[in-house]
A and B are shown apart, each in its own frame.
Chain A
Amino acid sequence: MKKSFIIYLSSGLLAAAALPSCSKEFGSLNGAVIEDLTTNPTEFQMINTMVGTESGIRNNLDFYFDATGVIGREIYRFAGSEPRYTTELLGKDAATLNNNTFYLTNSWNSRYRGVKNCNTIIQGCTNSKQITAPKKKGFLAVAKFFKAYQLLLNLNLTYTNGIRVDVNDPDKPGPFLSYDESLKAISDLLDESKADVAGAEFAFPLSAGFDIVKTDGAIDGAKFIKLNRALAARVAAYRKDWPGVLSRLNESFFDLNGSLTMGAYHVFSTGANDQTNITFFRKNSNGEIRLAHPNFHAEAVAQLGPNDDRIGKATLRDKVASSDDLSSQWDVWVYTSNVAPITIVRNEELILLYAEAKIRLTQYPDAIVALNRIRTSHNSSVYGGLVTDDELTTDLLRQRRFSFYFEGHRWIDMRRYNKLGDLPKDRPNDDVFDKFPRPLTEGQ
């Protein structure tokens, strides 16, 4: 009796154990999965994805500014535990740029992460049965704008090594396009974005960084086109399409007499899962520092005059900082707090793009008006040089250097004008590189 009881008990236990041992699937416990956003997303999911895109395109921007700033001889970046800012980026001795190192890959991957988020919006809107056609167009217009902007930043790094534009299918990525083809693709994408605005409704918010495209707090299609064209004007300049620059400027928020700071920005905050601007370092920091290149202050004073407010973008340190045979007593003072915004595009650049196009089209008086607008706005004197192509170009590059100091333009400008050889080498065996290699993971 007892024995059979035990047998029943144990077989019962075995059976009981067998029942819950049916297979289980717990799902992803730590967030949504991409398929939720691409199969038949709701309007709300697309709004989240758009907001996430605006947030995510700020990721690792500091690496972009450090890389372009160091190679462009605008800054020194000293870091206690990272030697490569002063070795590889400056081409010290035999050092070259590596294709699998943080200064390239962190920024490169983050920009394409933004592109992928934009492609997710594009795919989601295409497949969604829950979003109205006008609202879809609104999503598409802004997603394509962000996508073009991200591609442009990566192209700035790899230059003639090019970028992939078609990255929809991660298993079958499109080819690397040449520099010119890449620029054309970016330009076309901005045109598509502009075309999508016709009949679009904007169901989503953008941060205060995009107040320039809003009317009464809501995105206004007409104003969005003005922003789109501003970026398109920069791309046209890179393509040396000078009439194209002017025509795009005409459709943009370009205002020769308007505020220089009018524009679109990345904004930062200490809010939950938001980001702060880590490109900001306090003055007189040690160990982890960004120093202005030692020639910045002297040349700014010499070339802009003592009253120009852009001289203040480098401030005198209490002590000289030195590392790896480089030293400077000037701190970079462009971003003055950890919530200071970073420019995407602003009127000051549009005015200088206008000046540049006018110089290239030999309409010098117009160019001088624009250059003087920048000069006087910064308390500098008006242009007093010769009215020649060379001298005006020199002044244009000078104004761009000081107006966009540590904003990622200097290196690219000098490259556009084949003047990388003019950048100073601070150690006898340093090199000035013109482009980054294609990242290792892209296959060669």
Chain B
Amino acid sequence: MRHLLKHAVLAIICAALPTLLLAQVSVTGTVTDAANNPLAGISVKVKNSNLGTSTDASGKFVLTIPSKGATLEFTSVGYKTQSVQVSENNAIVSIKMLEDIGRLDEVVVTGLATSVKRKNLANAVVTVSSKDLTGTAPAQTFDAALNGKVPGALINANSGAPGGGISVKLRGVTSVFGNTQPLFVVDGVFIDNRSTPAGLNTVTGAARGGNASNQDNPSSRVADIKAEDIENVEILKGASAAAIYGSKAAAGVVLITTKRGKTGKTKLTVSQDLGIMKASKLLGQREWTEERALDFGKAAAKAEYIAAKNAGKIYDYEKELYGETGFTRNTNISLVGGNEKTSFFLSGGVKEEDGIIKRTGYGSKSLRVNVDHRITDNIKVGVSTSYLNSTADRGLTNNDNNSVTFGVALSSTPGFTELHATEAGYPDNNYSASNPLQTRDLMTNRESVNRFMSGITLEAILQKSAASTTRFIARGGFDYYTLKTNVHFPNELQFQKTVEGTSVQGFAKNLNYNYILSLVNNYTPSDKFNLTSSLGLTQENGDFDNLLNVANKLVAGQSNIDQSSALSATQLRNKFQDNGFYIQEEATLIDAITLTAGVRFDRSSNNGDYKKLYGYPKAGVSWNLTNMGFWHSSLFDNLKVRAAYGQAGNFPTFGSKYNLISNFNIGGNTGLLLSTIRGNKDIAPERTSELEAGFDLSMFNGRIGLEFSVYEKRITDFLLQRPVAGSSGWSTQFSNAGDLRNRGIEISLNTVPVNNKNLRWTSTVNFWQNRSKVTRMEVDPVELGVFGPTLGTFKIETGKSATQIVGLAGSDISVPLGDAEPKFQMNFLNEVTFLKNFSFRFLLHWKNGGQNINLSQLLTDLGKTSPDYDEPTKEGSIKGKARVARFGAKYADVWVQDAGYLRLREVGLYYRFTKLPTSAIKGLRVGVSANNLFTITNYAGYDPEVSNFGTGFSTNVDVMPYPMSKRLGFHLSVEF
């Protein structure tokens, strides 16, 4: 009993001890910018501790600190870090944040466990903040939100289909048949960004004709990251910055950091968006006359036209299909808070968006919990978990060989034929294999995703002395999703009468998990010298399993695969394990010269030789002239020159080393037939070596910032699925086929043209340009990616651009016709804050040049339905006939068209209330925004951004896509 009492007293004393020992002081303050406008969201932290908070909408903060006083640090992206001493006697402070237009104080991740301030960085690393990502005009999915914001990137939406689908190429094409997309890492977890086809090919036969690639138009799984949860995105554009990610980083790395908790009063934010969506452009329909109808379809069509005209029944089917106005709504709730030990970020959201085609749309529900906890002074742990459920109804668009997708059916259907349903059902389309209205109303093509992503970070200080700190950092996590694809074409559809209905039910599951274990030592013997040494181990695993069940001969109205009498199934699995270790050394001298060197070694089960280690070195140097003692300039605040070199790899596709045998049955017997792809047991990763150099400067007290970079990126042994002689029995083989190179320039200019009390205008202009060239080929030139030279095709050929488009020109069988690579791209991001509380932002994106292969127009020309078919040409013919005639004379240039554009990607106007109705509300903001409000282009298709073949090498091919949409939104955000 006495014992117990003693323990109880001890326990009470222990619990009270911190408060007894540490008497506390409350510090308050206001943070403003140079023009005295209050700044919200500025992070306030007690130096060398984890105490901190952030400012509210009126720039105010309250923070409790130990009574002995402390140094407060104020940080925010776009402002220079400020520090101030506070104590009992100096408990009310007012801070003026200075512009950091070059973002010199921003911390950039440079290793797997280390980071440096941008002013010491040897690479040009792009950071997209939360505000840049979603602050102007929120996009439907994360991938779309990145578009136009990354200098050095060619980002291209595959179509306007709900649920996204986007291709990201950083600094040119880095692979032809390997992975061309960057590695996405969310809070240390390497996530899967696969596109899983839903099996539409069974119905469309798209891959049966001129190109065996999948044309199902699936979405990209990176769309599953909720943009609203992202704090910032860092983009390592090439091997020189990304080498430490080794053999997955050849195409660059996109590091996504989600929002974390903050100590201080718990803050609840509710935001609601409402909006509409419409097709950004409709092409129109051909105007019909008796003569044209006769030419179109002989006497029968003429008679049908006359009857339709007399009955007033000439329709605009394009408008009926693509002319819907979609309603969009998006609700987000987030809760941020914490104390000195534990902080949390909690968010939930519901999004529902209708498409511009009836019965299509996108919806998602998500939940995120991020928790950080300090176990002891030396050990902290952070957990990020998220769950997302999304559904996308994507309609039936893109290429097909059975005339069943909306666009292909429409391309040969005149407005004078009747497609509308009567009581007797839908009439058969006289001019195509399908009635697109019937298809739209009866079919289903739905992707449903359930995805968990969960990461954990453990950081422990193992040793600490005046000059040296050693930390152990473990990061890792898993990314697991299941994807259900539901494709259903009931048997009453015009084109389903032979097979009596099709149901394709696909189930994909993917598990990725990885860890990075690092030891980092920070050695600072003096102010003039700092050494960061790190070494670590990494492992990444992936396991993908896709079942696709195809049922025909369905019971009417049923889609379950057992409701059928013909059922086939396919299963596709792949699995990899990559192991690596790395070592990296970073030295900073007099806070002006930074030297970095490191190397990573990797091996992978995907390589021909799975035991072989491949090494990827890197090195970098940056020299900040303004931090040198001798530099005294009133003009430059900061001037840095830098250079970096690095290598990274790209694994061969799973299974490319095997000569696989496929299952082909007949008469109830089980059979084996060799696959069309020949294995290559020697297949090796492709390797990218990148050298980049540049300078960063900042002038006039940070009012002007300029970043200039040039790079050369060499890809050696690039992976190519090259066609092989058909007589071998195979059609293609993976090989390490040659070398190619990209060279480019990136210029970024940040300015604050106006900054006074009533008006503040910040502007960012980026310019970037890339040129590629194939420098070596071990095999003959390869035509690939499209439908052969008659229609224009890509061709990998020594001495030529990797993305050149060639085709027939009369008797010449391979003449250069264009290049998918733009001449250059620019973007203009402007923010004007005026009358204190208004903020106006817009993003203009200019892509100059770059050609598309517009086979949509080919189809409408051949179908004689192009809207401009009858417009006269200078030569006295009409456009439609002239184009077809030129095609007939064996010229493929007709449909290779310039796809440059100037697009107002995002524009938004927001108003922040300063006088709030009740003290319960801490902040209130309303706004309106628009995406893709206008696009100026000479391109004849729906949109210059298009890719029939989805994400990968051969983007820019236009075959009846889901039209792009523009969005208009109203936003309300309340902070409690």
Contacts and interface: CB of A to CB of B under 8 A. Distances in A.
A10 B888 contact: no
Contact of B300 (A101, A173, A320): A320
Interface string B807-828: 0001101000000000000000
Task: Tell which of A33, A96, A108, A206 has the most Cβ of chain B within 10 Å.
Answer: A33
A6 B497 contact: no
Nearest to A443: B725
B412 A55 contact: no
Interface string A62-96: 00000000000000000111111001100011111
Interface stretch (B17-25, B69-77, B264-272, B426-434): B426-434
B724 A441 contact: yes
Task: Tell which of B433, B571, B610, B723 has the most Cβ of chain A within 10 Å.
Answer: B433
B665 A274 contact: yes
Given A48-B670, A80-B433, A117-B674, A6 B539 contact: no
B662 A116 contact: no
Interface string A38-59: 0000000100111111111011
B634 interface: no
Task: Tell which of B401, B658, B666 has the most Cβ of chain A within 10 Å.
Answer: B666
A83 B862 contact: yes
B671 A82 contact: no
A209 B668 CA distance: 12
A108 B675 CA distance: 15
Interface stretch (A18-26, A183-191, A232-240, A403-411): A18-26
B462 A80 contact: no
Contact of B209 (A50, A82, A170): A82
Contacts of A48: 670-672
B729 A98 contact: no
Contact of B729 (A7, A96, A116): A116
Nearest to A83: B862
B409 A80 contact: yes
Given A28-B655, A101-B788, A109-B731, A81 B401 contact: yes
Contact of A117 (B515, B576, B673): B673
Given A56-B673, A95-B890, A282 B497 contact: yes
A267 interface: yes
A34 interface: yes
Contacts of A88: 790
B672 A272 contact: no
Given A51-B671, A287-B412, A320-B300, A29 B574 contact: yes
Contacts of A36: 661
A80 B433 CA distance: 8
A274 B727 contact: no
A6 B412 CA distance: 72
Contacts of A117: 672-674, 729
B971 to A, nearest CB: 42
B579 interface: yes
A319 interface: yes
Contacts of A10: 460, 462, 472, 519
A17 interface: yes
B888 A93 contact: yes
A295 interface: no
B974 interface: no
A80 B413 CA distance: 10
A280 B605 CA distance: 45
Interface residues of A, number: 105
Interface residues on B, range: 35 or more
Task: Tell which of B474, B669, B676 has the most Cβ of chain A within 10 Å.
Answer: B669
A98 B671 contact: no
A322 interface: yes
B472 to A, nearest CB: 4
B889 A94 contact: yes
Interface in B629-679: 655, 658-676, 678-679
A205 interface: yes
Interface stretch (B133-141, B342-350, B561-569, B934-942): B561-569
Interface string B843-862: 00000000000000011001
A86 to B, nearest CB: 9
Interface in B162-215: 208-210
A416 to B, nearest CB: 24
A67 B141 CA distance: 45
Contacts of A7: 462-463
Nearest to B378: A6
A175 to B, nearest CB: 11
A208 interface: yes
A83 B667 CA distance: 35
B553 interface: yes
Given A28-B660, A287-B432, A113 B537 contact: no
A42 to B, nearest CB: 12
A14 interface: yes
B610 A173 contact: no
Contact of A287 (B433, B497, B572, B573): B433
A101 B671 contact: no
B671 A81 contact: no
B432 A286 contact: yes
A384 interface: no
A441 B431 CA distance: 37
B665 A24 contact: no
B216 to A, nearest CB: 15
A33 B611 CA distance: 21
B527 to A, nearest CB: 27
Contacts of B885: 93
A418 interface: no
A270 B564 CA distance: 11
A56 B674 CA distance: 9
A102 B738 CA distance: 26
A17 to B, nearest CB: 5
Contact of A80 (B432, B460, B573): B432
B672 A52 contact: yes
A116 B730 CA distance: 8
B430 A286 contact: yes
B952 interface: no
A297 B888 CA distance: 29
Contact of A113 (B567, B676, B788, B889): B676
Contacts of B483: none
A24 B660 CA distance: 19
A6 B472 CA distance: 9
Nearest to A46: B672
Contacts of B379: 6
Interface string A116-129: 11011000000000
A116 B728 contact: yes
A385 interface: no
Contacts of B789: 98, 100
B810 A439 contact: no
A48 B661 CA distance: 11
Contacts of A285: 433
Contact of B661 (A31, A115, A267, A280): A31
Given A80-B863, A98-B789, A270 B667 contact: no
Given A30-B572, A82-B401, A102-B788, A24 B610 contact: yes
Contact of A271 (B409, B665, B678): B665
Interface string B255-268: 00000000000000
Interface of A: 3, 6-7, 10, 13-14, 17-18, 20-26, 28-37, 45, 48-56, 58-59, 79-84, 87-88, 92-96, 98, 100-102, 105-106, 108-109, 112-113, 115-117, 119-120, 163-164, 167, 170, 173, 205-209, 267, 269-276, 280-282, 284-289, 319-320, 322-324, 327, 338, 439-443
10 contacts: A7-B463, A23-B603, A24-B577, A33-B659, A45-B672, A272-B567, A284-B428, A286-B430, A320-B300, A441-B724
The 5 closest A-B pairs by CB, nearest first: A116-B729, A207-B667, A52-B671, A287-B433, A287-B403
Given A10-B519, A102-B788, A207-B667, 10 more contacts: A14-B519, A35-B659, A80-B433, A81-B403, A113-B729, A120-B674, A284-B428, A286-B432, A287-B433, A288-B403
